Copies of this chain bind each other. A is one copy, B any other.
Amino acid sequence: MSKGARTRASILQAAVEMACLHGLSGVSLQPLADRVGMTKSGLYAHFRSKEALQLATLESATERFLEAVVAPSKGAAPGLPRLEDLYQRWLAWPGNAELPGQCPFFAAADEFDDSEGPVRERLERTFREFRQVGEQLIASAIRHGHLPADTDPEQWFHELMALRQAHHWAAGFMRDAKAPERSRVGFDRLVGRRPT
Contacts and interface: CB of A to CB of B under 8 A. Distances in A.
A166 B154 CA distance: 13
Interface string A173-193: 110001000100110010000
A162 B173 contact: no
A98 interface: no
Given A106-B110, A114-B21, A124 B159 contact: no
A196 interface: no
A124 B178 CA distance: 16
Interface string A95-138: 00000011000110111111000000001100100000000000
A101 B114 contact: yes
A158 interface: yes
A169 B22 CA distance: 19
A102 B185 CA distance: 29
A113 B172 contact: yes
Contacts of A185: 155
Nearest to A185: B155
Given A159-B166, A186-B162, A174 B124 contact: yes
* Copies assembled: 2
Nearest to A128: B174
A169 B109 contact: yes
A186 B160 CA distance: 11
A113 B109 contact: no
Given A107-B110, A110-B110, A195 B150 contact: yes
A142 interface: no
A165 B174 contact: no
Contacts of A127: 173-174
A147 interface: no
Given A102-B110, A113-B172, 5 more contacts: A21-B114, A109-B172, A124-B174, A155-B182, A158-B186
